């Protein structure tokens, strides 16, 4: 039995133990081939099977309609910040962005290198404590897409429902990937890094509406073209073999656990336990986020003062409640409770929070 | 003791067994932390230590001077086909490329999207069976760099020595990375995918001369800027954690085995054994490559006819001599004998080649 910490890291982060143990067991001599999977040609039968399974499983688990393709890319969500406008914008069109915080700001900054970009709603005035509702989003003529960051990892906010606008949505779902159903009709493209809900770092999973690929920009280096990756089933160049393999294992685990609806339900219950602990602490813990927009993945909270926060983090770590420090840009505490985080770990955190506030109230 | 195949894959490919076994042992519970390394924040102490060690070890093993930085990127060598001209070219400058075969052609095609590119030597007329010597390379005015593919994986050719030109070299070394010393004075940038000599797929290692970063193009998405990655020590975004970790283990193995000079000597001996077997077969095996330009990593050869090649591959596989089929674009056979390929596996192949030609001569 492997010792396990309660790992509240914002990513890379907790993965299902059974996936790790299976991978360990298979690591050196994959299916008695005399090779590790990471030593095998990506065009050989073993890895082709792994990649095909990951592709079909992620469409099944994420309930992806047939008019979308999935691409396994590299460079993280951040390379998508460039690839989206590079591929989708033309000199005649512009793109709208919701500025919902740290990650949205990055997407906007990169997109500005590749086209006419404007901010359709700016969360700065409310200090990024909520998402906009549809009627607050101001769209201009010739807008090719509205880009949203569906969950902000640092601010701990999410869209409670998808904006209902007349242009296609593009979603960066990195920090809540495959934890809730998507209204696919509204989206042209969804992307995200795998290193939170889906697997290890080094894999970016992109879902793209097939019909838009005909009109994407072809005057790009080939790695930067969605149509090239799609036409080669993500085998245009050597893909990140090990990350795809682990992603496949996580998908199998997700399916076994009950799929997307189970992930959604678990996330709601885990986050409700922590938000309840915060809200029922008589103001000892405070969550700055608008109640309707509270993330089900990243629960941010403050204690009465910095000294108590330091003490809290120190005592938590002594109980193996790890990586609860908030992002350095905002301070405070943050519990990231991604799909693979067991309910029991969230309970352990809640119990500790009760105990700590009682002792230090 | 793990069963091992003789794995002649062109990449991903054979890695040192001891690195795989160590990684397996550490995989689920890294240093008794209660987490796998792939579950840890890339900014936490464990991975920071891994990344710093990989960085300093690769500078040590590859004998990299202090005026170069190393970057750990994603997207393979193919993303570098775009990033090199994007970052280095200006409207006033052009770039020269040696067209040495399949990989060079890709580099040229991508670069043409980003600047004024010309072919300074074209191997097409000799069917890509050799590299140019310096006096065959025709450079034009205002040439920012000469791009070379130092080893062509498919054609099985390499530069026996570095071109001696008046402009900086850029080298794609993917398929012979860290198997021979580099004349660093001649290069501004060297890049390559890790998945041959260095580790698993999903990591691209770039060495860049620090002094050129001031003048690189800043009007790019941030993932595409060398200066950004350099200023953040490759931690601008979540790096490919597991690939960097394995790379570090391979580097330790390389150092223990005697470093770059040992890798170079081993490669010379392993390739000499196979080329000798070919040349002494009385014309049964043929290597189309000019003797001076024969790769020390990818040994390509033909048999008298297609039927015998099929028979050869089949019988080889029965002896666990795996992945000897040549690239589909050129046919024939290819033995890729990267750094981690044991001499004993090359001997086993040589013995089989003797035996097969005797039986089927």
In tens digits, what is the pLDDT along chain A, a chain of 361 residues? Answer: 578 999 999 999 999 999 999 999 999 999 999 999 999 999 999 999 999 999 999 999 999 999 999 999 999 999 999 999 999 999 999 999 999 999 999 999 999 999 999 999 999 999 999 999 999 999 999 999 999 999 999 999 999 999 999 999 999 999 999 999 999 999 999 999 999 999 999 999 999 999 999 999 999 999 999 999 999 999 999 999 999 999 999 999 999 999 999 999 999 999 999 999 999 999 999 999 999 999 999 999 999 999 999 999 999 999 999 999 999 889 999 999 999 999 999 999 999 999 999 999 8
Query: Which residues of chain A from 141 to 180 reach within 8 Å of chain B, CB to CB?
Result: none
Note the pLDDT of residue A206. Answer: 98
Query: What residue of A is the nearest CA neighbor of B246?
Result: A38
**Residue that terminates a domain, selected from A235, A256, A277:** A256
**Cβ distance of B75 and A4 shorter than 8 Å:** no
pLDDT of residue A361: 85
Closest CA–CA distance from residue A185 to any residue of chain B (Å): 29
Q: What's the burial of B219, exposed, middle or buried (CB within 10 Å: 0-12/13-18/19+)?
A: exposed
Contact B41 A223 (CB under 8 A): no
Query: Looking at A110, A116, A188, A196, which residue is catalytic?
Result: A196
Residues of B taking part in catalysis: 103, 172, 196
Q: Which positions of chain B have pLDDT values less than 70? A: 1
Separation between Cα atoms, residue B218 and residue B214, nearest integer Å: 9
Q: How many domains does chain A have?
A: 2
B6 is a domain residue: no
The yes-or-no answer on residue A184 being catalytic is no
Tokens of B359: 């039986």
Residues B157 and B295 in one domain: no
Spatial separation of the C-alpha atoms in residues B175 and B154, rounded to whole Å: 10
Chain A contact probe: residue of B205, B221, B340 with most A CBs at under 10 A = B221
Q: How far apart are CA B299 and CA B287, in angstroms?
A: 8
In a domain? residue A3? no
Interface mutation vs chain B, best among A19, A221, A240, A318, most B CBs within 10 Å: A221
- Who contacts B282 (Cβ-Cβ below 8 Å, separation ≥6)? B361
- The reply to whether B198 touches chain A by the CB within 8 Å rule is no
| Residue A215 confidence (pLDDT) | 97
Query: Which of B19, B35, B109, B192 is the mutation pick for testing A, counting most A CBs within 10 A?
Result: B35
* Residue B5 domain flag: no
A299 and A318 in one domain? yes
Q: Let me know if A188 is a catalytic residue.
A: no
pLDDT at A3: 84
Q: Which of A256, A280, A310 is the last residue of a domain?
A: A256
Asked which of B190, B224, B256 is the last residue of a domain, the reply is B256
Per the CB < 8 A criterion, the answer to whether A335 and A343 are in contact is: no
pLDDT for A1:
59
Put simply, whether B222 touches A (Cβ < 8 Å) is: yes
Whether residue A11 lies inside any domain: the answer is no
* Same domain flag for A250 and A264: no
In a domain, B115, yes or no: yes
pLDDT of residue B1: 59
For residue B121, the SS3 value is: strand
CATH code of A352's domain: 3.90.1150.10
Pair (A296, A223) in one structural domain: no
Q: Is the same domain home to B269 and B138?
A: no
Shared-domain flag, residues A173 and A264: no
Instruction: Say if residue B100 is in the same domain as residue B56.
Output: yes
- CB under 8 Å to A297, separation ≥6 — which residues? A151, A153, A158, A175, A176, A179, A196, A197, A267, A271, A336, A337, A338
Kindly list the distances between the CA atom of residue B117 and the CA atoms of B37, B92, B93, B113, B164, in Å, as whole numbers in the listed order.
43, 12, 9, 9, 20
Question: Which CATH number is A85's domain given?
Answer: 3.40.640.10
Cα–Cα distance for residue pair B309/B332, rounded to 1 Å = 7
Q: Are residues B204 and B342 in the same domain?
A: no
Please check whether residue B331 touches A, CB under 8 A: no
Domain extent at residue B66? 17-256
Cα A225 from Cα A216, distance rounded (Å): 8
The answer as to whether A8 is a domain residue is: no
Are B141 and B270 contained in the same domain?
Answer: no
Contact assessment for residue B340 and residue B263, using Cβ atoms and an 8 Å cutoff: no
**A57 falls within a domain:** yes
**pLDDT of amino acid A195:** 97
Is the CB of B201 less than 8 angstroms away from the CB of A4?
A: no
Residue B178's CB is within 10 A of a number of other CB atoms, namely 26
How many Å apart are CA B76 and CA A88, to the nearest integer?
23
| Cross-chain Cβ contact A221/B24 below 8 Å | no
Angle, CA B133 vertex, CA B127 and CA B134 arms, to 5°? 135
Q: What is the dihedral of CA A317, A323, A324, A326, to 10 degrees?
A: 140
Pairwise CB contact (< 8 Å): A220 & B82: yes
Whether the predicted model's global pTM rises above the 0.90 cut: yes
Residue B11 lies in a domain: no
Same domain? B231 vs B355: no
Q: Are residues A32 and A174 in the same domain?
A: yes
State the alpha helices, DSSP H only, in A118-258: 226-231, 241-257
Q: Could you tell me if A242 and A272 lie in one domain?
A: no
Q: Tell whether A240 is within 8 A of chain B (Cβ).
A: yes
From the list B27, B29, B242, the residue facing A3 with the nearest CB is B29
């Amino acid at each position: 039995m492997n010792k396990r910490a309660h790992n509240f890291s914002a990513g890379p982060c907790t993965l299902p133990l059974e996936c790790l143990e299976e991978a360990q067991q298979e690591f050196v001599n994959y299916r008695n081939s005399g090779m590790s999977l990471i030593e095998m040609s990506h065009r050989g039968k073993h890895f082709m099977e792994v990649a095909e399974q990951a592709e079909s499983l992620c469409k099944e688990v994420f309930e992806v309609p047939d008019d979308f393709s999935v691409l396994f890319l590299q460079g993280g969500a951040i390379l998508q910040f460039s690839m989206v406008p590079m591929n989708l914008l033309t000199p005649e069109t512009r793109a709208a962005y919701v500025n919902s915080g740290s990650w949205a700001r990055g997407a906007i900054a990169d997109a500005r290198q590749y086209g006419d970009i404007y901010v359709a709603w700016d969360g700065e005035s409310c200090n990024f404590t909520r998402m906009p509702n549809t009627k607050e989003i101001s769209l201009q003529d010739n807008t090719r897409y509205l880009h949203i960051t569906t969950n902000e990892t640092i601010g701990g906010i999410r869209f409670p429902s998808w904006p209902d606008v007349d242009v296609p949505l593009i979603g960066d779902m990195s920090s809540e990937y495959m934890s809730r159903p998507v209204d696919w009709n509204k989206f042209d493209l969804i992307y995200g890094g795998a290193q939170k809900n889906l697997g290890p770092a080094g894999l970016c999973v992109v879902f793209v509406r097939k019909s838009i690929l005909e009109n994407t920009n072809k005057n790009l280096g080939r790695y930067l073209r969605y149509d090239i990756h799609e036409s080669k089933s993500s085998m245009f160049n050597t893909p990140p073999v090990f990350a795809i393999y682990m992603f496949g294992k996580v998908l199998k685990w997700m399916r076994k656990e009950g799929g997307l609806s189970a992930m959604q339900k678990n996330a709601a219950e885990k986050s409700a336990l922590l938000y309840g602990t915060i809200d029922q602490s008589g103001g000892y813990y405070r969550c700055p986020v608008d109640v309707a927009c509270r993330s089900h993945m990243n629960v941010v909270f403050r204690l009465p003062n910095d000294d108590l926060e330091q003490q809290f983090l120190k005592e938590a770590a002594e109980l193996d409640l790890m990586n609860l420090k908030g992002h350095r840009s905002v301070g405070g505490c943050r519990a990231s409770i991604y799909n693979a985080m067991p309910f029991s770990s969230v309970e352990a955190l809640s119990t500790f929070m009760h105990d700590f506030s009682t002792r230090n109230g």
